Amino acid sequence: MVEIQLSFTPEMEAAILSRRKTCTTRLEQKGEAGDTFRLKDGRVCFISCVANFKFWQIVSILYGAEGFDEPGDFTDFWNNLPGYPNHEECWGRTFPVHFFTLREER
For position 3, what pLDDT does the model report? 97
pLDDT at residue 106 above 60? no
Within a domain: 1: no
For position 105, what pLDDT does the model report? 63
| C-alpha closest to that of 58 among 18, 98, 19 | 98
Looking at the chain, the whole-number percentage of residues with pLDDT higher than 70 is: 98
What phi-psi label fits residue 18: left (phi over 0), alpha (psi between -120 and 50 degrees) or beta? alpha
Within a domain: 5: no
Report yes or no on whether pTM surpasses 0.85: yes
Number of domains into which the chain is organized: 1
Q: How confident is the model at residue 16 (pLDDT cuts 50, 70, 90)?
A: very high
pLDDT at residue 57 above 90? yes
For position 104, what pLDDT does the model report? 75
71 CA to centre of own chain = 14
What is the domain range of residue 76?
A: 10-102
Q: Could you write out the DSSP letters of every residue in 45-94?
A: EEEEEEEEEEHHHHHHHSTTTBT-SSHHHHHHHHHTSTTPPPGGGTTT-E
For position 1, what pLDDT does the model report? 86
How far CA 61 is from CA of 51, 94, 97, 104, in Å, comes to 14, 14, 12, 27
Q: Domain with 27 in it: what CATH number?
A: 3.10.400.10
Within a domain: 34: yes
